[in-house]
Each structure stands twice: as C-alpha cells, then as structure tokens.
A and B are shown apart, each in its own frame.
Chain A
Amino acid sequence: MARSHRRIMPVALAAAAALTLTACGGGGNFGGDDDTGGDGEAEEGPIVIGAVLDITGVGANLGVPEQNTLQMLADQLNAEGGINGREVELIIKDNQSTEDGAARATTELIQNDDVDLIIGASRTGPSLAMRPIVESEQIPNISIAANAAIVEGSDWVFKTAQNDVVVIQSIIDNMAEKGYKTVALARDATGFGEGIAEMITEVGAEQGIELIATESFEPSATDFTAQMTNIRNAEADANIIWGITPSAGLAQAAYVQLGIDAPVYQSHGVANDAFFEAAGDAADGVLAPMGRLLVADQLPDDDPQLPVIDQFVADYTEEFGTPPSSFAGHAYDAWKIAVIALEEAGTDADALRDAIENVSGFVGISGVFEMSPENHSGLDSSALIMAEAGDGRWNLAE
C-alpha cells in the first residue's frame, strides 16, 4: 500500500510533456499563423468588420458613443445595400478597458469570426495590446485612440484620432502668434499625458518657446492645489493643462482659484460638455485645439467638413437623443475609411491595407485625411481649430 499521491507528479509531468508535443490538430484554436493573409477564398458573402471598444470600464465614456456610431453606420450601410452588393456584418467586442480584454477580443474576432478588418480600440493601452496580434495575423486595424505609438512603424495599424503632436503643434503655433516665450505644463499621469512634455519641448524649440515647468496629476485626483501652486510659481507666459475630464476640469478650477492669470491652454481631451461640469465658471477663456465637431454651428459656410458634420450630428442625435462626442467622430472616420477601402479593394487583406494607405482627401469628422504608407494617421494640424470656452460651451476662438 505504499502507492500514494507522491507518484503522481512524475506521471503528470510525463503526461504534460506528451501533451505539449502532441499538440496541434483539429479545432479552430490552432488556426494561428498558417491561416494568415486574409481569406482570398471569400470575395463574396458578407464582409465582416470587427470592433474592439472600451464599452465598460474606465474608457466607457469613450467606447459607448463609439459603439453607437458604428452600429448606426453599419445599419445605414446595409440599408443602402452594403458594399459592392455585399452585406456588412459588424461584430463589436467589449475589451472592458483592459489590455488583456483587448487581446482576447482581437483573437476571438480573428479566429472565431474571421473578420476582414478591425476597428479599435478606444484607448492607447488596449490598442497597443491589439497591435502584435493584428500584425502577426495580418489583419488591417484602424485604431481610434490617440497615441502616435500605436501606428509608428506598423504595416497593419492605422488610426483616425489626431496625433498628440499635431495638437501640440496647434497650441504652440497659437502661442507663438501671441508672442509667448515660456510655458508650464500640468499633465495627467495616464497614457494620455505620456510624452507630452517631450513633445512640447521639441515642437516649442522650433518657435522659440521654452517649457519651464512640468507637473503631473493622477487621473483620480480631486485636489490640484499642489500642482497649480507650482505652476503659479513657474510664472510662465502661458500654461498648458493636459488631461481628460473630470480631472482636467478640476485642475482648471484650481488654476483659477489660485489666481493664476496667465492664459491657459487645454488639450482636445476636454472637448466635451463634462469639462464644464467639472470646471464650472473657471472654464471661461480656456483655449483648446479640437476637431470641428463641437463648434460645427459656428463654422464658416464654406468649411468642407460642415455638411459631413451636420449630417452626422443630425443622424446621431436623432438615433440616440444626445449629440455625438468627438470620440464618436473618431469611430465615424474609422468606419468611413474602412468602407472606402473595402469598396475599392474587397476583402483581400493585403489589397485592403494598401487601399487604406491610399485613402486621400477623405473628409471626415475630425478633419481631412491623407493616408500614406508612411503616415498611418493622416491628419495634420489643419484638422484642428482653436476653441475657446465661454458660457458653458466651446466656441470658435478669434
């Protein structure tokens, strides 16, 4: 009766070893690399577009309007007869605002749903988690997150949100115009605020503007006295608060509270109404570069984006009862770019990718896109206008 559990280990080890060696074979789970290059076999039947969005979790306020937008556009497209007569099937996956969720959703879309193209994710982290998967599986991916690192050097990933550097360019240009020489920055400690100081230093150098102080704040922070006190002491000609609501709004309130009277610029992260809830009266006079969506009613009549934006705002508002956010706009642009490329190239992955790279002159919500093999972002600073906060809304700055 000496036999006992202790003997199990070696046996299990052997079993496990055998298991690893004999792997492969049936099931849909070993599709992997040999099944790449899109599916040349399926030039008919429905076109499948996948989307990976931050529908729940910290990115929910981004992901939900994006989800709405994609669903609405897909319905519209199918009502009009699809792409080249082929129906479009949209499969939206929630990544729960996590990297592993994004990786999971992406794998599933590719292996289970055999998608032709993937839109998403909403934020930088999850987008970066998707990148190695879409690259090794060779599936075109249009991200709707901001960070330039998402597309840098990638053959398969594109994005529709403005690059941060474009936003900074826009701010610095505006500052140079007004003759400011020094600037101080308070940025949030998330991926959104990552690398901003370096970009300001770099872009500012071209215009003779120097970054003299950098402060950071946590996205969950509620009190900004410390950061704003330091900003006050820096005595820069102008200051930049770089963050998303509500923290950027609370920081703005603290800025005004501490009696700093230098002009303040914020980022496109505050291009929403929640900013006014958080900042209150302190919002007045804040300058922020952003897409044209929020100030569409003030655009000159000859603005090429005006009809596109008007149509989208009208459709979205009718469907969901609220006006779309700029994140919805990013999703809109991603969808439209995908459709243009699919119409042109069909569902062959390589052709599709090339077609996206060749999208040119597309007038979207965030700007006019000029994609190229070198530039997978396609927007320059002309996509942005400078808005000024006043009376609880964003207005076109003079």
Chain B
Amino acid sequence: MTAQKTALPAAQKRAPRILQNALVQWIGVAALVVALIVFPLVASPTLMNIGVFALIYALPAIGLSLLMGLAGQVSLGQASFFAISAYAHAMLITRTPIPEVLAAVLAVGVSMLIALLVGWPLLRLRGHFLALATLGLGFIVYIVARESDFTNRTLGISGIQRPEVFGMEIGNNGLFFYFVAPFVVIGLILALNLTRSRAGRALSAVNDSELAAESLGVGTYSLRLKVFVLSAAFAGLGGVFYAYHVRIVTPEIGEFHLSVEFLLMVVLGGLGSVWGAVAGSFIVELLRDGLRAIIPTIIPGATGEVQLIGYGLVLVLVIILLPGGFVGVVQIITRWVRRMLGKGPSTTARSAKLQGASDQTPTGAFSAAIAEEEAQRIDSAVEQAAANLPEMPTPVATGETVLRLEGLTKRYGGVVAVDNVTFDVPAGRITGLIGPNGAGKTTCFNMISGAIAPTSGTVSFLGREVQGRKPNVAASAGLTRTFQNLQVFGSTDVLGNVYMGRYRNGRAGVLRGMLGMQGAEQRRHRDVARDILDALNLGDVADLPAGDLPFGRQRMMEVCRALALEPTLLLLDEPMAGLSGAEREVLAELLRRLRDAGLTVLLVEHDVAQVMALADQVAVLDDGDLIAIGTPEEVQANPKVIAAYLGTEEDEAEQVLEGVAAVDAVRSDDPKEDDDA
C-alpha cells in the first residue's frame, strides 16, 4: 500500500479491469457468433446434426448451470421442464389456432409455472432436497405424459409443422441451426449478464456465505426461487425447439437419462459457468456420437448401451480429477500460456503485492514492539479513516432508542440459553454486550440479527418487530452485522465483497439484471464501495480475491462491507478477535469516529478492556441473565460482573475488586494510550 496509489481517484484505477472483463466477454461472444455463422457452412451433415442438438440442449444446460452456479442447487429433473414445454408447445400448435410465437411463450410459461409450484415450498429447504424432489418430478412428468389421453399417451404428439420465419420455412438443418443459434447467443448473454448483475452477485455471495449475504439484505429464498424458475424457462425454450425440430414429442423426453445428460453437460463444461454449459452441450453431443464409434473398437463385439461406460467414466473422472470441467481446463491452459509468454498479471507480482500486504499487518505482533514505520502507518490509517468516512444517516435523534429487546428468551430443550433479557440500544452510541463464555452473548446476538428465532420476547428495530424474521428483513431496514468467524465471499474480490454491502441500496432485480439494464446503478455502487475501501485503507487490495487477504484485513473488509450498507445499527460480533494490537487500535478508533458520525453500534466482545474503553453503555450477560447494564464504570464496579468473570462467589468478588487495584490502573491507562495513537 502506497500513499500515491490510494490518492488516485477510484475511477482511474478501476478502468483497466472492467475494460478487460468486458473485452474478454466481447471477444468471447463475437467469437461464438462467428463460429455459429461459419459452422453450418463447413460442417459435415453428421457434425451438423450434432450441432443442432447441441444448440437445442445448450438452453436447458445454461438454465441448469445458472441454477447450480448461482442458486447452488441441483436439479435432477431438468428434462421434465424441457418435456413440459415441448408438450405444451406441440399441443398448442397442433390443436389450437394460437399463433406459434404465442404458443412458444405460453409453453415456456407453463414450465415456469410448474417450477414455481415445485420450487416454492422446496427452496425453503437446504441442500439436496431440491435435487431429490426434481428427480421425483421427472418421473412423475414422464408417467403422467405416458398415461394420460390428453398427451396422447406413448404415441405422443406428432404432426408438428416446421416453423416459418418471414415466410421462409425452416426446412433443413442448416436453417434450423441459424434459427436456434440467436436464441442460444441471447440466452448466453442474458445468463452472463445475470451472473454479473446485482442479483447474480448476491446469489454467488449466498453460495459463499448465506449468513453474510442475508445480513446484507439478500432475500436468499426469493432469489433462488427466481433462478429456479428462470432455469425452467431456459429448459422450456429448449423444449420448444426440440418439438419443432424432432416434430414428435413422446414421454421419453422427460426421462431421467436426459436430465442426467443435462447434468453431464454442466459438469463437463465447468460447474456454474455459463460458457461451460454451452461448451458442455457440444462436448456431450460429440461424446454421444464419438463414444458409440470408439467403444466397440476397444471392446470388440460390444453392442447395447456401451456409450454408458463412457458417460459413467467421464462423469466420475471429471468430478475426481477436473472439478472445474472444460472451463477449468481452459483456464489452466490460458494461465499456463500467459506465464509462458510472460504476459498478463504475473503471479509473482501478485504474490509480492500480497506479501507486502501481509507484512504491513502483523497479525501476531503481541510481544514485539510495534515498529516505528508501523506506528506511522496506523497513524495515517486512522487519519485517513477520519478524512473519508462515509455519511452515517441517523433516522432517530442521538440517544433515542434504535433497538429494543424485551423479554428476549431462548430455550434449547431444557436449557435456557438467554433468559428474559430486556434492554435498549440508543442511537449514536456504542453499546457493548459482554459476558463469560457460554453466557448467551452469541445467542442473544443471533436473535437480534435474525440468524435464530427467539423462544419468546421481541426485538424491535426502529419500532418494527424483526425477531424470527430472516436476517435480510432487518438488513433491508438498516441493521447489519459482521462475523466473529469471518464470512468472506471467497468467489469474488475485495471490491466485490464491499459492493455486496450496497445490495440493499440497489433496485435491479433478476429481469433487469439479465437485460443488463443496471449499468449506471452498478457503477455508482461500485464507486461507493471503492471509496469506502479507500477510506479504510484497503484500496490497494480491492482487486485481490478476498480469500487471499490476511486475516486482519479480511476483518476490516467485513467492516467495510457492513458500512457500505449505510446501516443505522451495526452489530459487531467479536470484531477484535484475531486482530493484532495495532489493528485493534485502528478498528477502535474507526468505531469511535463512526459513532461520532452518527452510527449506532452494538458490539459483542471478549476483549473486555477494549469494550470498556470504547462503549458508552455496557450490558453484561451471565448464564443467560442480564446481570448488569450501565456505563463502563458502573459495570466494572459491579461485584456480580467480577463474579461472573472469575468464576467466584460474589463475596469473593468483592475482595477481588479491592485487591486488584493495579489492574484497574492498567485499565484506566488504556484509553489514554488509544488517544495517543
């Protein structure tokens, strides 16, 4: 970190990176378009066949990759949405006079509706439940299609006419390829847009840490549901093209093996990568033809479904050996080529930068005296923090209640973790919540932030009861938190982390995200995020992967992220844990200045001295009970508190209080030192 760098305006630093990203995507899309135009002109009919189906299947694969990459969920029934839409489209155009375009739209809509109905209850659940349910859905769709007269049972729907575009019949593979290709390209662009949009970033944040994302106001459930429905829409569009191209829709297309094939495309292409899904669909279609040609030559006389061996092997080997799939391999190769050519962001430079960063933040400088240079750095850091602090709006006047806990209680079975705790957090003040291990601080904290629901009692934030609601509810109202065990969004860079803090201030949803119509908004928030990073001396590492930062700076980044939300109330969960002395001082000073700027802080902390030095009001929990609340001085003099801390009876504690005057002396020195720093 050098002073020059931080002095540069944010916009100038950002430029090359954004340009590079956009450029890469530009080039990628352009190359794809060119390849798609040229392909039918040069491909053999065999390849052409592969190409057309690869394009059709690329759509459901893109949808599935969004679901897996963004929502972190797997569908084992992607083919069922493909089939539902194919059936709907086929039935509409063969049985009704509805215009074909409208039929296609309706067909996709039916897929989305079914997805909504299935996802609505299931996406509330975690992990693999959706995978299991969609697996079930696939079988049900297959069986219903097979058994109902409405879908013409096993004979399916045939007699579908070829589509016409401007009076021209799409009568052969070449034209059909051109007919589908634009949709795949647009689908790809929409999907890429989505992954970089506010919603997309929020979802990848959810995958990194659901807790942290929700604390920033991300409504995980509704976003996931939207992506699930969207993925069904992609599958549905693929189904429409399938119906057009094969011109018969039978129950088999809803079958499990097709769902597996879609899954294979996504896994082979590269989990969670939209490009990978497109690549994967071509790879799988090539494999499908190739394996049938290759395997009988390896195993003579092999007939039957021998390509299964290939599928099985490829699936297993990719997961074990190449979890990144095709895209992962491409990335490795590009990196290798770049290193060979000596171009691009060299890893040595980057690691040097990192090295430098960690040198400047000695996480364990306990016994060693802080070097002169280091002291200056802190000095300037604090100075800087003061200079560029963001505005801290206060909706209520200083001193009035922002947060009120009333009778807050949490029972686990027979154990009462928090028992009838009542206190207020006043605006524009720092309130500390302390207590020995197991006192119920964290439980209390989690009930306030919404991570867990209280057994009884209320949490009112700005007069609105938020207990038992998901953290994103309180977060949207301006209450956010940091985490003791860091919850860093590892899939993005530092800037991306802080940018996520702006989530609540954004508006654009999934649709606008896909259409790429949120550029100005995104840029504005990015600038704010950049400013906050600069203000807190993290500007130099803004572009580094968040997980690469040393611990102390990750914690500061979390604070930046929380501040980016422009919170009314900031909850800090043991912010000092794991920080070096110097870092603690920077953070403490920062908090003081933020308070002065109007921010309300509630802090749970073990470092009692730090709390005493920092807080305007201290609440002490012991064994689930609130045993004391008041100014630091009042609390320190409370025998109950001493007893709680040193594990003694109260009478003993009285003696301790008298006996350890020396410690008091040390303690009272602390704030002075801080002020000097």
Contacts and interface: CB of A to CB of B under 8 A. Distances in A.
Contact of A189 (B19, B147, B186, B247): B147
Contact of B155 (A6, A25, A128, A216): A128
Contacts of A19: 33, 36-37, 178, 181-182
Given A99-B252, A111-B173, A136-B171, A5 B196 contact: yes
Contact of A5 (B26, B146, B245): B26
Contact of A27 (B33, B43, B519): B43
Contacts of B179: 20
A62 to B, nearest CB: 12
A135 to B, nearest CB: 10
Interface string B35-53: 0110011111110110001
A94 interface: yes
B171 A60 contact: no
Contacts of B26: 5, 8
Interface stretch (B302-310, B412-420, B581-589): B302-310
B492 interface: no
B189 interface: yes
A128 B158 contact: yes
Nearest to A113: B45
A111 B45 contact: yes
A99 B250 contact: yes
Chief secondary structure at chain A's binding surface? helix
Interface string A1-30: 111111011001101110111011111111
A31 interface: yes
Contacts of B181: 16, 19
Nearest to A35: B172
B596 interface: no
Contacts of A112: 44-46
A398 interface: no
Interface in A38-67: 55-57, 60, 64
Contacts of A111: 45, 48, 172-173
A104 interface: yes
A28 B44 contact: yes
A131 interface: yes
B257 to A, nearest CB: 9
Contacts of A1: 11, 14-15, 18-19
A272 interface: no
B477 interface: no
B460 to A, nearest CB: 41
B182 A17 contact: yes
Given A112-B45, A194-B155, A16 B53 contact: no
A190 interface: yes
Contacts of B193: 5-6, 9
A93 B26 CA distance: 40
Interface in A105-162: 107-108, 111-112, 124-125, 128-129, 131-133, 136, 147, 149
A5 B516 contact: yes
A12 B154 contact: no
Contacts of B304: 56, 60, 64
Contacts of B517: 6
A94 B33 CA distance: 31
Contacts of B44: 28, 112
Nearest to B523: A2
Given A2-B523, A57-B305, A107 B45 contact: yes
A253 interface: no
A304 interface: no
Contacts of A26: 41
Contact of B45 (A12, A55, A108): A108
A277 interface: no
B110 to A, nearest CB: 21
B177 interface: yes
Given A29-B45, A111-B45, A129-B246, A12 B22 contact: no
A274 to B, nearest CB: 15
A216 B148 CA distance: 12
A120 to B, nearest CB: 15
Contacts of B253: 99-100
Given A104-B49, A112-B45, A12 B155 contact: no
Interface in B6-44: 11, 14-15, 18-19, 21-22, 25-26, 29, 33, 36-37, 40-44
A226 to B, nearest CB: 15
Contacts of A208: none
Contact of A55 (B245, B303, B519): B303
Contacts of A8: 22, 25-26, 29, 189, 516
A99 B246 contact: yes
A6 B247 contact: no
Given A2-B523, A3-B22, A29 B172 contact: yes
A34 B307 CA distance: 36
B467 to A, nearest CB: 41
A27 B25 CA distance: 29
Contacts of A179: none
A136 B33 CA distance: 30
Contacts of B246: 99-100, 103, 129
A131 B171 CA distance: 15
Contacts of A373: none
Given A20-B165, A26-B41, A99-B250, A4 B519 contact: yes
B19 to A, nearest CB: 6
Most buried by A among B193, B253, B516, B523: B516
B175 interface: yes
Given A15-B33, A17-B182, A19-B37, A194 B153 contact: yes
A129 B185 CA distance: 28
A100 B172 CA distance: 15
B182 A107 contact: no
B652 interface: no
> Chain B CB within 10 Å — which of A4, A33, A218 has the most?
A4
A20 B40 CA distance: 12
A98 interface: yes
A83 to B, nearest CB: 25
Contacts of B18: 1, 4
Interface of B: 11, 14-15, 18-19, 21-22, 25-26, 29, 33, 36-37, 40-46, 48-49, 53, 143, 146-147, 153-156, 158-160, 162, 165-166, 169, 171-175, 177-179, 181-182, 185-186, 189-190, 192-193, 196, 242, 245-250, 252-253, 288, 292, 303-307, 515-519, 523
24 contacts: A4-B519, A5-B516, A6-B517, A6-B519, A8-B189, A9-B190, A9-B193, A16-B33, A19-B33, A20-B182, A28-B44, A56-B292, A56-B303, A64-B303, A99-B253, A100-B245, A104-B53, A107-B49, A111-B48, A128-B158, A129-B250, A132-B159, A136-B162, A189-B154
Given A15-B185, A16-B181, 16 more contacts: A4-B519, A6-B519, A12-B29, A12-B189, A20-B165, A21-B166, A24-B175, A29-B173, A56-B303, A94-B292, A100-B253, A112-B45, A112-B46, A129-B248, A136-B171, A191-B155
